[in-house]
Amino acid sequence: MTLLLTILLMLFLSNLPWMNDKFLIFINIKKNLLVIFCEILIYFLIFRVVTFFLELSIYGNAHSQDWQFYAALLSLFYVSSSPGFIVKVLWK
C-alpha cells in the first residue's frame, strides 16, 4: 500500500506543473518550458524529502544513496511527467 501511494504521489507531483498556470501553485508568473522544468525539479526535491522521512519512519534508518540513484530517480520523475506534457502541449 505504501508503494502504491508513493507512486501516486510521484505521478501527482510530476504532473502538477503542467496542470496549472501558476508557479508552485500560488505565484503568478508567465511559465515557459524552462520554468516548468525548474518547477518539476523543486517538486522532485519535495518528493525526495517526503520519501526520505517515509523510509525513516518505516525502517528506522535511511539507506545512503550515491549519485546514480538520484540520477535515475530524477529521470523517472521527468518521464512520469509526460502525461501532463502530452495534455498541455501536444493536445492543446
Close Cβ partners of 29 (under 8 Å, ≥ 6 residues apart): 22, 23, 35
Grid coordinates representing 30?
Answer: 508567465
Condensed to tens digits (0 to 9), the pLDDT of residues 13-50 reads 999 998 888 888 788 888 888 988 999 999 999 999 99
pLDDT band at 58 (very low <50, low <70, confident <90, very high): confident
Mean pLDDT, the chain, rounded, equals: 90
Summary count for the chain: helices (H), strands (E): 4, 0
Domain ranges of the chain: 2-90
